[in-house]
Amino acid sequence: MGFRLLADAIVVLHLAFVLFVALGGLLVLRWPRLAWLHLPAAIWGSWIEISGWICPLTPFENWLREHGGAVAYTGSFVDRYVIPVVYPQSLTRQVQWLLAALVIGVNAIVYLFVWRRRR
């Protein structure tokens, strides 16, 4: 049970990180110093998508699930609603490139706006 709860917590953390990578630039509009945290996160998230690597949170979550006796995702809110967002079935290399381009494009626009506003 403990491993299962930790695995669910990792999925929620993973989703929060993905959202921060994708939309964190908007937070930088309000709190510009947050850029020091967001820029490395956005670079990492984009690199994971572009390179096709697997985020270290994924194997850790799977390890926790295996040690918790779970074989498949079933039952909880996290399993039903959060996991399909983090691990969509239709994720292809083309979709990964599109997501990376979207993250880079949106954040480039936001950071350009922040940079211009600060000047």
13 near 57, Cβ under 8 Å?
A: yes
Given a cut of 50, whether residue 76 has pLDDT beyond it is no
User: How high is the pLDDT of residue 61?
Assistant: 81
* pTM for the structure as a whole: 0.76
The larger pLDDT score, comparing residue 28 to residue 70, is at 28
d(CA 114, CA 119): 9
59 near 39, Cβ under 8 Å?
A: no
Tell me which long-range contacts 61-65 makes (C-beta under 8 A, separation of at least 24).
61/7, 61/10, 61/11, 61/14, 62/7, 64/3, 64/4, 64/6, 64/7, 64/10, 65/3, 65/4, 65/7
User: How high is the pLDDT of residue 42?
Assistant: 93
pLDDT band at 91 (very low <50, low <70, confident <90, very high): confident
67 near 9, Cβ under 8 Å?
A: no
